[in-house]
Amino acid sequence: MAKILIADDHRQITSVLEAYSRKEGHTAAVAHDGAAALRLYASFQPDIVLLDVMMPVMDGFEVCRAIRKQSDTPVIMITARGEDYDRIMGLDIGADDYIVKPFSPGEVMARVRAVLRRIDRAEDGSRRALQWGSLRVDLDSYEAAVSGHVVPLTKKELELLWTLTQNRGQVFSREHLLSLLWGYDYEGDSRTVDSHIKRLRAKLDAHPHPDWRIETVWGVGYKLEAADG
């Protein structure tokens, strides 16, 4: 099973999440401040991180940034803040998902299972790389390139780009993308997809790609298509 790092300064929350993790067969390690979480991350080398935003010493945003500088380990942010700004900030710095307090431990474990299923699919041993004009997407190395320039993407952004590239011209609804990439038991909403598309476009558009674009189909969703002209 998986190794889960649980970082939260609320000891009752970490105790419950640790118990639920072990019940599902995972190995869990707990930290109660941001600096301790980073030290434990280095020694424990978790498969997934449950990361509270509001922690002493270093907050969860700082910890997530530090993790992203060295790894694409999935990070699920846990926050008492429900505002769009905080949710989008977490996604922008590389978090894969977020959960707003109060939550049920069962919901957290469902999110963990969804992330682990995606990891399993990504490591099934098949070679997966796509080249379409100036765009290259490689699921083996988890790299994307535009016009020869490597574009740093999070795991979720890469999977989203792969899905659109593999099915270019096909319109995907937000709900369909949520089901494909976050799992059928994901309880978030379509704004998660919108946030990832916004970040993905900004990163891709840093390099010229006159031959394709990610198109918004209003009232439906998104597709990757050849650019006019």
- Give the model's confidence band at 229: pLDDT under 50 very low, under 70 low, under 90 confident, else very high: very low
Q: How distant, in Å, are the alpha carbons of 132, 135, 163, 175 from that of 171?
A: 17, 19, 11, 12
Reply yes or no on whether the pLDDT at 221 is more than 60: yes
- The β-bridge partners of 31 are 7
Compute the distance between CA of residue 228 and CA of residue 46 in angstroms, rounded to an integer.
45
What is the tens place of the pLDDT at every residue in 81-91?
666 666 667 67
Cβ atoms within 10 Å of 64's Cβ, excluding its own: 23
Domains in the chain with CATH codes: 3-122 (3.40.50.2300), 129-226 (1.10.10.10)
Chain center to CA of 141: 16
What is the DSSP annotation of 90-106?
HHHTT-SEEEESS--HH
Cβ contacts of 102 within 8 Å, gap of 6 or more: none
Residue linked to tokens 């096909």:
170
Half-sphere exposure of 185 (CA within 13 A, CB side): 13
Written as six digits, the tokens of 11 are 């000891």
Structure tokens at 144: 């994307």
pTM of the predicted structure, to 2 decimals:
0.59
Span 21-40, average pLDDT: 93
Q: Confidence band (pLDDT; 50, 70, 90) for 79?
A: confident
Cα–Cα–Cα angle for 153, 157, 159, rounded to 5 degrees: 115
Is 217 strand, coil or helix?
A: strand
Please give the angle made by the CA atoms of 75, 174 and 228, to the nearest 5 degrees.
110
pLDDT in tens, 161-174: 999 998 888 899 98
At residue 173, the 3 state secondary structure works out as: strand
- Cβ(154)–Cβ(135) under 8 Å? no
Distance separating the N- and C-terminal Cα atoms of the chain: 50
Report the sign of the C-alpha dihedral through residues 13, 14, 15, 18, in that order. positive
